Amino acid sequence: MQNRNTLLRTGPLPGAAFGAKIVVEAPDARAAVDALLDSAFDIQGRLAQAQGLLVLSGLAALACAPEDYVRLSQAFGPELEDIRATLTAPRFFHPDVAEIMVLSNKPGHDHPPPPRPSGALPVRFPDRINWHTDQSYRRPPPDVSLLFGVTVPPPDQGQTLYADCTAAYKALDPNTKALIDGLDGIHTMSWIGRGVEDVRSGVMPTPVLDHQKPVRQPLVRHHPVTGDPALYLCEEKQMDYLDGPVAGMEPGPDGAGARLIRDLLRHATQERFVYVHTWQAGDLVVGDNRCLLHAASWYDSATHAREMWRTTVMGNAGAPYAGEAKSWLPPDGVSVMAGLEDA
């Protein structure tokens, strides 16, 4: 039963054409999560109505209650990933909770920010680098990522950007829609030598095991809950520029497939489709990987500490993935730690 001292205030997301904001006022983490999980509140339905983006503030108490963070994460899909059973390197592990990935520059985690850009905060590709959707190199890919701010830098640094790929698809011209419907992108882990820079420089790709190989994903995904079509692609480190990035089109960094991906990224990351989240400690951003892109921004890691917790929900990727085994799980007899992901 919801604590009578808990209040949820909901509304549109300021500064964005999509998304919703939920302000939580609660005496403790358990009461806050109980209120968000109340059946009358229907938090999954609110995520769908918000085109895949929810920003929750006022949850600083979760930093001392990781079990409640996990409990809230479980509300967004059938399965919550155990990151210790994936290719994730141990430096990203939470010390106590197997479902939480720690993204931090603190000692022991050593996760650096992206490079500092020149000038004001860039938004649009290619000035903004590393637009991606989480773990698109897996089949089935994950559904939803939750990102929680435990320790955050000053508000003019370390922002996270989200792009609405549903609205971006809708705004495409009919000829482009006809071109990309039915095409597959080829997605890859960033560290196996198949990104743009590696291919241009002639780096030999890293030999990988079967469960680490690039995978094909549709360029247009129909959301399994809303049915809406959305662009599904990533920036240059997470797509295969050796055999792709688009199956059936001229491969390579300068091929027709690469030109198409860059055109689509420039289109999808226009400011009219983008929300820039300025972090405060206790913010929790829920992003639907099936219809959003996101990107991190620079912060001064020599001066400021940053610690973010991420959980990943999966199990409802949609009809094209029905019945598929998890491509990223190694076969029997192969260590799960073989070929670690440098997230």
Task: Summarize pLDDT for 266-282 with one digit per residue, the tens.
Answer: 999 999 999 999 999 99
Q: For residue 330, is it within any domain?
A: no
* Tens digit of each residue's pLDDT (9 = 90 or more) over 159-177: 999 999 999 999 999 999 9
Q: For residue 337, is it within any domain?
A: no
Structural domain that includes position 225 = 7-316
Q: H or E element: which one contains 313?
A: strand 307-314
Q: For residue 207, is it within any domain?
A: yes
Are 187 and 214 spatial neighbours (Cβ–Cβ below 8 Å)? yes
Global pTM value: 0.95
* Tens digit of each residue's pLDDT (9 = 90 or more) over 74-112: 999 999 999 998 878 999 999 999 999 999 999 999 999
Q: What percent of the chain has pLDDT over 90?
A: 89
CATH code of the domain in which 40 resides: 3.60.130.10
Q: For residue 342, is it within any domain?
A: no
The per-residue pLDDT for 340 is 52
Lowest mean pLDDT across 141-150, 201-210, 215-224? 201-210
Residue 57 to residues 41, 164, 212: CA-CA distances in angstroms?
16, 21, 37
Are 163 and 18 spatial neighbours (Cβ–Cβ below 8 Å)? no
Q: For residue 343, is it within any domain?
A: no
- Going by pLDDT thresholds of 50, 70 and 90, the confidence category of residue 1 is very low
* Tens digit of each residue's pLDDT (9 = 90 or more) over 190-205: 999 999 999 999 989 9
Are 177 and 154 spatial neighbours (Cβ–Cβ below 8 Å)? no
Enter the tokens of residue 260: 């198409």
Q: For residue 338, is it within any domain?
A: no
Determine the Cα angle at 78 with ends 228 and 219, to 5°: 35
Q: For residue 200, is it within any domain?
A: yes
- Going by pLDDT thresholds of 50, 70 and 90, the confidence category of residue 118 is confident
Output the 3-class SS for 234-268: CCHHHECCCCCCECCCCCCCCCHHHHHHHHHHHHH
Q: For residue 332, is it within any domain?
A: no
The per-residue pLDDT for 205 is 93
Q: How many domains does the chain have?
A: 1
Q: Is the pLDDT of residue 334 over 90?
A: no
